[in-house]
Structure 1
Amino acid sequence: MHELSLVFFTVLAQCAVGIFLVLGCLQFASFGQRDRLQLLSRLQIASLVILGVAGLAAGTHLGQPLRAFNVIFGLEHLSPLSVEILTTSLFGGVAFTFIAATLLNILPALHRLVLLGAMALGVALLLAIANVYTLATVPTWNTDWTVFQFVMPAVVLGVMGAAVLVRSQSDRMGLFARHADKALSTIGLIALAVIATGFVLYLFWLGQLSTAIDPFMVKDYHHSLLAARFALLFLGVSLWIVPAMRGSNTGVRQPAVGFVLVLASELMGRIFFYDLHMFSTGL
């Protein structure tokens, strides 16, 4: 699977954006509470670390990394790849600026505006990544389902990742952390239903394509891969949601394991996605 570096880049970048967005929403409810706002900003550092790992993964895909600066020339005609790289850089830069500003209490009157800008760039990044792969020349990608597949991981991984991080500081955030976890678990349950239903509908759409080769038979492991993906998705989310619904909103280990399982599930789904590009181009 020679696109493995892009598998990690896209999934991890979406995960980073999702975590930042969810924690950002919690921060909007925390303005006026300086200690809580700064604590949430410290947790947001995790999203920057994940984004950095995603960037390193993308760098390994470049045959000649020094030519990465050619992206600037691609902006002249709004190359989707150039827009993706530029948006990634802008999101990372503005997110870092917000985190640093809140931790150092620099220009607090502008914190809301900078946070809003970082969140807007995060959404733009999700759409920019999806736009790279919505190609008219690739029938298995030329669909709105591609956008769905590139946005929903940010939702489910963002909600779960943020929940794990908030739980890790539940002793310091007290009742706020418990209320946040209950709200996030409800959103997580809805996200699970949407992503599972949507992926099934996508597979149904894929099966209706008029192609020379059955997309599900491109690789011998596809059926096992899809089965494992669904199993890990449901198991991972259940490890967090079931205890949360029963009132256990402070334990970190079990939801952390669930997050790793869901991350593995999304990586499997992305491998399947890239395999279909190999099929459509005859590789």
Structure 2
Amino acid sequence: MQMRPAELTAIRAGEVDLAFRRWEMPRLKVGTRMRTAVGLIEVTSVDRVPVSRLTAKDARRAGAASLAALRQGLDRVHPERPVYRIGLRYAGADPRQALRETVPDEAGLDEIGAWLDRLDRAGAWTRATLLLIDELPATRAPELAEKMGRDTLSFKQNVRKLKERGLTESLDIGYRLSARGAALLDHEGHPRKPGNEPVPGTPLPHIGAAATKALNARGVTRLEQVAMLSADEVQALHGVGPYALNHLRTALEEAGLAFNSGNQAPAAADPRTHDSVAPC
């Protein structure tokens, strides 16, 4: 089920707990947990409802401006299909986030390597994909797929398999090798690009490609690094708008952090540490 970033943010904040969709038949089951940009969203109910039974309260709980706006939105696409009311709730962080930061012992890394070997039986691609992401982080999937001689869809499907094991993480633009993925390549003795060690800490939330690119250009890839900047400094970056700034502020609060409120910008240092930010 597709949801806009603003919807996801509102669900996580507890401001929205319903969604309405026109489906031929239910596409979700109660108890399903969907992985999204803000974490896990759980389906708490799925009920078919006549449009005439929708209420202003339904509209508010779905984040619609009004009952009329909700009905108009439902009538834009496939108005002949029945309407389903889906109950939703935020169910916590994506467990893959913690997995990415967890580096197994040698036996655990050997187990991951054996799993990759099984994937490679139909044609070797796993290590080549990891090495390419290590070499070209934050690069668009179509460009990476072309370098692999693959179509974009099949390339993304393969990367998704690696992500399930915590070996990569998705960015607003492209991917990055995780600490777990880097440890695996090092364990197996694969040559890696110097200076591309994964940065520890909390990943940036999904704030859009332009804002992410602006922060990355300053060497900021983790929330702990954002906290060393003031809100004014972040807002002044080209590509960072109100949505990105508010989303960063929310993510900082949830991580027990905040924008730097000091009068002076923090000293420039190695951006790969938690307590430093590289200069522009």
TM-score (norm 2): 0.26
Task: State which structure, 1 or 2, has the greater radius of gyration over its C-alpha atoms.
Answer: 2
Higher helix share: 1
